[in-house]
Amino acid sequence: MFVTPGPNNIMLTTSGIKYGFKRTIPHILGIPLGHFFQISLVSLGLGTLFQTYPLIQQTLKIAGCLYLFFLAYKMFGSLNIKKNTKESGRPLKFYEASLFQILNPKAWVVAITAVSVFFPKDEHFVTGIFYLASIAPIVCLPSISIWALFGSGIRTFVSYPRVKQIIEIVMAFLLLATGVMILI
């Protein structure tokens, strides 16, 4: 699920386009840490809390989708590389990418799915949770890096206005579609 389109991957592609792969590395590294903590929290009972109080999960889901819609809106006109240099823009920092997972509805779906499928059922409960939470970043890192590399690779084409416009529309549409699919 980490390699499929979603908020993290769309944001990484955009960051790769705007800032290049090297400047996107802190963003890339922050996401797996966020997943580690998310899976740990779900394993330790947050999933039960969501089942007991579905309004909490629903509120997070709606807040996350509203944020995705906001990002989709901001996507239009955002790939102006000359305007978005160090002075006027920057990629997400490590801790910002980690914290973004709280609002990322797809990340919650991944965490809840991983825990429901691979939850440790033996006597080594804490060790099992640690292993489960540790595997996610190992799988996540190369999967999401592909998106940042892709963005960095198409960076030179953004100087063509028509290509830039198409990329912005596609990225915005993918964010909107992700939000709509999560709400359905």
Cα-to-chain-centroid distance, residue 2: 9
If you ran DSSP here, which 8-state letter would residue 45 be given?
A: I
Question: Which pTM was predicted?
Answer: 0.80
The tokens for 141 are 């890192």
- Please tell me the distance from the alpha carbon of residue 180 to that of residue 14, in angstroms, as a whole number: 20
Q: How far apart are CA 47 and CA 50, in angstroms?
A: 5
Please name the residues in contact with 133: beta carbons below 8 A apart, sequence gap of 6 or more: 35, 36, 37, 39, 40, 43
175 vs 24: CA distance, rounded Å: 19
pLDDT at res. 85: 46
Domain edges within the chain: 7-183
pLDDT digits (tens, 9 = 90+) for 14-55: 999 999 999 999 999 999 999 999 999 988 887 678 778 889
What's the CA gap between 3 and 42, in Å, rounded? 21
Per-residue pLDDT of 71-88, as tens digits, reads 888 887 777 655 444 446
Mean pLDDT on 139-162: 92
Residue 4's pLDDT is 82
